Chain A
Amino acid sequence: MSGLASYLVFFLIQALIYSVVALGLNLQWGYTGLFNIGVAGFFLIGSYTFAILCGPPYATHLGGFGLPWTVGVLAAIALSAIGGLIVGIPTLRLREDYLAIATIGIAVTLQLVALNARTLTGGSRGAESIPRPFAHLVSSNLWNNVVYMLLMLLVVIVIYFALEAMVRSPWGRVLKAIREDEPAASSLGKNPFTFRLQAFVIGCAIMGLGGALNASFVGFTAPTDFLPIFTFEIWAMLIVGGSGNNRGAVLGSVLVWGLWTGTGSLTQAILPSSLQVKGGAVQVIIIGLVLMLMLVLRPRGLMGEEAVVSRDADVGGDVAAAASLQEGR
């Protein structure tokens, strides 16, 4: 029984960390329509920043600052925000597809740096023994995980409500206006570039936070954690849950992570060890299939974006009815 409980706690922690990243992507893609296919890159910045600042001294690479957990997390947020700023300034003015190409390029480049800059990152062996907060408070591994799960839950709740407040504010309405009709929004005096950059940088910062939380939970970070498959998983989570809906981002994270680990354990149980590589391939194919079917059959995801009609708008009953129909209520 305790085996199942500890597995469930483990599962939830990982799902909550993915939720954080998916919430960051939702601000970028769901609300602002920005194609970030370099999620793994910003996650990487957060992970390594935290590992270097909070980890123990390493023999061959940078570390040993021994800074407190909160400082590491804040630094991870700040550095990934700076990363977002550097990528965003040149590319957010260009056609949207270019942002996709530029972000995946950044992710690939950062992964190369993580792999090759051994004195900074530890190279292919990665950084290990990354500390977890409150680890000294409880002795058992299970309770240690429970504490971390509660902390992750708190983080997700805080980010969720912060993002909800943001996207429902006038600022959030401008984001959606730019996404839907850029010329109309700029004719009302809103500078699309400024708003896009703000949303992009905040989203990247949240992804970096996710990276720090993950490094702290797993206790280990290596270049193989940041392959394009990671970006793909986050995208699948957001599309399945419903982009443009923060609850959808969290729901999608739990579901897709469940599907991913479920198919992983299944193929591991069924296939002999010589075919494990194929099992991993099947996992990706299944998630890919789910993503495709979702895009084709239900592009709005499980929980679509809420149709928003201004309080002050003079809309007839037809429009309101259409909006509620679209909502599926």
Chain B
Amino acid sequence: MGQYIADGIILGATLSLGAIGLTLTFKILRFANFAHGELLTFGAYFALALTTVLGVGAPLGTLTFGWGFLLVIVLAAVFTAVLAIVVDFLVYRVLRRSDIVATIVIASFGASLMLRNIVVFIWGNQPEYYFHTIAIAKPILPGVRVTTDEIFVVALAAVLMVALHLFLTRTRAGKAMRAVSDNALLAQVTGINVQSIIRLMWVVGGTLAAIGGIFYGITVQVGPNMGFNLILPMFAAAILGGIGSVYGAVLGGMVIGLAESVSVFWIDPAYKPAVAFLLMFVMLLVYPGGLLGERA
């Protein structure tokens, strides 16, 4: 059981980071972005491409990678943030101007399939791995074995979440972003440039998605369908935590990660991907506002 909880927290780190961007898009641009999963995929593949150029560095301690890979993570996050802004500029920005708000969701569904197939076109659809050395899992608690890489993933996720919290509460830009997500019109009246906040949102969402994708690549594998396979759990996390709530997304991501991992005790592991969906469905039925959502 302990092992499954540890695995659930590791998966939860990826889901939480992905769900933060999803919930921000849902709140600020008011649409369910089905292409958000592909930001994770692209983040993971950018990192893959960068490791072939920059390498992963000499292993630090018991990690399977060194400083080089940290640079790779930063660069991959930058590329993904740029990609998110480009997709917004080419597709969503244009559709935001038209009256038909609903078509943005369809466009994001289309963008998701296109981006996924661009990955297949460039990199093929075989699974890939960053490192060719095998990480050795060591016991940290009785019956719980994790690799140093996995500890790194969870620790970096925690650092990023604290950083995001400080950004949203202590900086001018972060406060402006919260203002826009609460009420875009009112924010605009007070002199906040909504367009630049939207770009900032894509930078935050894209960066966290990329790192979430790389985490999945480190702990599981890299593949063209990884983002699509994660989009439902991420939606589930965002809805479970309460749409628009960054802290809710983090909590939701952890709950979904744990639920998927622990579910193998009761159901056939083949149905694991459906667990997140069922939790979300139940949440929508009984408590559509989410755990940390706004109260009407």
A288 to B91 alpha-carbon distance, docked (Å): 12
Option from A97, A112, A282, A299 in Cβ contact (under 8 Å) with B274: A112
Interface string of A6-39 (1 = CB under 8 A from B): 0000000000000000000000000001010100
Binds A, one of B68-76, B78-86, B114-122, B198-206: B114-122
- A-B complex: 9 closest residue pairs judged by Cβ atoms: A288-B114, A105-B277, A281-B117, A97-B32, A281-B120, A284-B117, A116-B270, A281-B121, A109-B274
Q: Determine if B161 is an interface residue (Cβ-Cβ < 8 Å).
A: no
Q: Which residues of chain B are within 8 angstroms of A239 by Cβ–Cβ distance?
A: 106
Option from B100, B103, B232 in Cβ contact (under 8 Å) with A105: B232
B124 with A277: CB separation less than 8 A: yes
Residue of A nearest to B91 (CB): A292
Please, could you name 11 A-B residue pairs with CB atoms under 8 Å apart, sorted by A? Answer: A35-B105, A97-B31, A98-B284, A100-B105, A105-B277, A105-B281, A112-B273, A288-B110, A288-B113, A292-B107, A295-B107
Taking Cβ atoms with an 8 Å cutoff, the residues of B that contact A are 26, 31-32, 34, 91, 94-95, 98, 100, 102-103, 105-107, 109-111, 113-114, 116-118, 120-121, 124-125, 228, 232, 235, 239, 268, 270-271, 273-274, 277-278, 280-281, 284-285, 288
A285 with B117: CB separation less than 8 A: yes
Q: Determine if A296 is an interface residue (Cβ-Cβ < 8 Å).
A: yes
A44 to chain B, nearest CB (A): 14
From residue 213 to 236 of chain A, which have CB atoms closer than 8 A to chain B?
A: 228-229, 232, 235-236
Q: Determine if A178 is an interface residue (Cβ-Cβ < 8 Å).
A: no
B281 with A295: CB separation less than 8 A: no
Option from B117, B228, B284 in Cβ contact (under 8 Å) with A90: B284
A289 to B107 alpha-carbon distance, docked (Å): 10
Q: Determine if A94 is an interface residue (Cβ-Cβ < 8 Å).
A: yes
A232 with B32: CB separation less than 8 A: no
A104 to B270 alpha-carbon distance, docked (Å): 18
Interface centre among A94, A101, A235, A239 (most CB of B within 10 A): A101
B111 with A292: CB separation less than 8 A: yes
A109 with B277: CB separation less than 8 A: yes
Option from B91, B235, B273, B274 in Cβ contact (under 8 Å) with A296: B91
A35 to B103 alpha-carbon distance, docked (Å): 9
Chain A interface residue count, CB cutoff 8 Å, equals 41
Q: Which residues of chain B are within 8 angstroms of A253 by Cβ–Cβ distance?
A: none
Q: Determine if A115 is an interface residue (Cβ-Cβ < 8 Å).
A: yes
Q: Which residues of chain A are within 8 angstroms of B274 by Cβ–Cβ distance?
A: 105, 108-109, 112
Residue of B nearest to A232 (CB): B113
Q: Which residues of chain B are within 8 angstroms of A91 by Cβ–Cβ distance?
A: 284
Q: Which residues of chain B are within 8 angstroms of A228 by Cβ–Cβ distance?
A: 113, 228
Q: Which residues of chain A are within 8 angstroms of B111 by Cβ–Cβ distance?
A: 288, 292
Interface string of A99-121 (1 = CB under 8 A from B): 01110111011001101100000
B113 with A229: CB separation less than 8 A: yes
A98 to B290 alpha-carbon distance, docked (Å): 13
Q: Determine if A96 is an interface residue (Cβ-Cβ < 8 Å).
A: yes
A112 with B114: CB separation less than 8 A: no
Q: Determine if A291 is an interface residue (Cβ-Cβ < 8 Å).
A: yes
Interface centre among B31, B111, B117 (most CB of A within 10 A): B117
B109 with A232: CB separation less than 8 A: yes
With A37-B109, A229-B113, A278-B120 known as contacts, the answer to whether A112 contacts B270 (CB < 8 A) is yes
A285 with B31: CB separation less than 8 A: no
Q: Which residues of chain B are within 8 angstroms of A277 by Cβ–Cβ distance?
A: 120, 124-125
Option from B95, B114, B116, B277 in Cβ contact (under 8 Å) with A108: B277
Q: Which residues of chain A are within 8 angstroms of B281 by Cβ–Cβ distance?
A: 90, 102, 105
Residue of A nearest to B106 (CB): A235
Residue of A nearest to B269 (CB): A116
A112 to B270 alpha-carbon distance, docked (Å): 8
With A277-B125, A285-B121, A291-B110 known as contacts, the answer to whether A90 contacts B232 (CB < 8 A) is no
Q: Which residues of chain B are within 8 angstroms of A102 by Cβ–Cβ distance?
A: 280-281, 284
Residue of B nearest to A291 (CB): B110
Q: Which residues of chain B are within 8 angstroms of A35 by Cβ–Cβ distance?
A: 102, 105-106
Residue of B nearest to A289 (CB): B114
A296 to B26 alpha-carbon distance, docked (Å): 21
Interface string of A264-288 (1 = CB under 8 A from B): 0000000000000110111011001
Residue of A nearest to B101 (CB): A96
With A109-B277, A281-B121, A295-B95 known as contacts, the answer to whether A97 contacts B114 (CB < 8 A) is no
Interface centre among B91, B100, B106, B114 (most CB of A within 10 A): B106
Option from B118, B121, B284 in Cβ contact (under 8 Å) with A94: B284
Q: Which residues of chain B are within 8 angstroms of A101 by Cβ–Cβ distance?
A: 32, 232, 235, 239, 280
